[in-house]
Amino acid sequence: MAALSPSDDPRPTMFDRWRERYLGVIASPRFQKWAARFPLTRMAARRDGERLFDLVAGFTYSQVLQAFVALDLSRHLRRRPATTDELAIRLCVPARHMRVLCQAAASLGLLHRRRDGRYTLARLGAALEGVGGLKDMILHHEILYRDLSAAAAFFRGETDPELAQFWPYVFGAAAVDAPDAAARYSHLMSETQRLVSDEILTSLDFSDVRHVMDIGGGTGVFLAACAALYPNLSLTLFDLPQVAPLASERFAKAGISARAHIECGSFRDQALPRGADVITLIRVLYDHEDETVLRLLQSAYEVLPDGGKIVIAEPMSGGAVPDRSSDAYFALYCLAMGTGTVRSAAEIGEILKSAGFGKVSTVKTNRPFVARIVTAEKTVNKS
C-alpha cells in the first residue's frame, strides 16, 4: 500500500487541533521551566522528569543488572554483608569499579547499603535467585544488546542480528544442523520454561484431560510438571529430533517414561500425531509468521477429536492498551530473531477462528508478564 500524502490525511478534528496545541505547550522549554517551579504542576513535572530519565538511563540499568548476575554478587552477599574492598579482592575487580557497581545495584534495589558502609542482598536481589531461568536470560541478553546497539538501523531493518543464529529452529528442522546448537538453545528454553509451566498449571485445570500433546515442547519441562500433578495423564512431546535425547533423559529421571511418549518431527514439514484431547503450544506462536501459525493451528485442529482443546501460552501484546513487558521487550526480541511477532490475545483468537476453532477465551494469569493464555475448542457443526 502506498504511503499517504499529507493531502490524503483525514481532516483533523477539534480534539486533534486541541491536542496539537497542548503537546506544543508541553514541548516548550519555557513551559517546562515554569511547570517545575509552579506549586500545582511541580509534582507532575518531577514525575515526568524522573520517568524520562529512567528511559534515558535504562540501558545502563540493564548493564548493572547483567554485571550483578555475571559476577554472582547475590551468592557472595547472601550469607553475610561485605565491603566493596572485600568483594573487589574476592572477584578480582578493581576496587573503584566495585564501589560504583555496588552503589548502582543498591540504587536499583538489588543491594542494600548498611549504615556501616557494607552491602547486603536486598529483597529484589534475592528474588532474582528464585525466578527460574531469569539469570540465564539476563546473561543471554549480551547478544540482544549487540543487536540493538545501532537502534535506528535495527528498526530500519538494516542490521544482521545475531539472535537469528541463536534460535535456528524457528527456520525449520533443516536449520538445526549441529547438536551443540540444539543443546545451547534447549538449555535456555528449559531454564525459562519452568516459570511459564507454573503459570499455566496454576491457571488451568487438567484433571479432566486424558492425553496432552505439547508441540515444540523442547526438553519436556512442561510435560514433566504436568505429570507430577496429574499421575493418570498420558503425555506426548512433539519436537525436533535434536532435542529428543534431552527430553528422554528428563522423563527417565522423573520416572514417567512409561506414559510420556516422544514423537520427533517439525510441524513445518510433517503432520502432527493424533491421540491427544488437549494440545499445548507454549511460547511457540510468537516465534513464527502468520502463515506458519495458521498452518500449525489448522494441523492441530485436524488431529484433535471433537471437543478437543488447544492451549496457547506465551507473552502477548497489549494490543489497544500497549504493555511494557510484551510490546517494549518481547516484540523487539522477535524482531532481532528475524521471524515471528508478539500478537495480542485478540489477534491469536482471530487466527484460531480462521483455523476452525470455536469457544475462544482468554484465561487470566497471575503474572501476565510471564505468559498470557488463550484457549479454544474444536467444535464441529453437526447440522
Return the pLDDT at 83. 96
Asked if 235 and 227 touch (Cβ cutoff 8 Å), the reply is yes
The residue behind cell 517546562 is 32
**Domain range 144-377, its CATH number among 3.40.50.150, 2.60.120.10, 3.40.50.300, 3.30.70.270:** 3.40.50.150
Asked if 106 and 122 touch (Cβ cutoff 8 Å), the reply is yes
Q: How far apart are the C-alpha atoms of 318 and 342, rounded to whole Å?
A: 9
Residue boundaries of the structural domains of the chain:
14-130, 144-377
Return the pLDDT at 248. 94
Q: What is the pTM of this model?
A: 0.83
Q: What are phi and psi of 84, to 5 degrees?
A: -65, -30
Return the pLDDT at 164. 79
User: Fold match between 14-130 and 144-377?
Assistant: no
Q: Determine whether domain 14-130 maps to CATH 3.40.50.620.
A: no
Helix H or strand E segment including 361: strand 358-363
Per-residue pLDDT of the chain (383 residues; tens, 9 = 90+): 344 444 456 788 888 788 788 777 787 888 888 878 888 888 888 888 888 889 999 999 999 999 999 999 999 998 899 999 999 999 999 999 999 999 999 999 999 999 999 999 999 999 888 777 788 889 889 999 999 999 999 999 999 998 878 765 554 544 445 555 555 555 666 667 888 999 999 999 999 999 999 999 989 999 999 999 999 999 999 998 888 888 999 999 999 999 999 999 999 888 999 999 999 999 999 999 999 999 999 999 999 999 999 999 999 999 999 999 999 999 999 999 888 899 999 999 999 999 999 999 999 999 998 899 999 999 876 54
How would you label 83-102 residue by residue, b for 16+ Cβ within 10 Å and e otherwise? bbebbbeeeebeeeebbebb
Return the pLDDT at 179. 53
> Which one, of 221, 224, 218, lies nearest residue 238 by Cα?
218
Q: How far apart are the C-alpha atoms of 218 and 193, rounded to whole Å?
A: 9
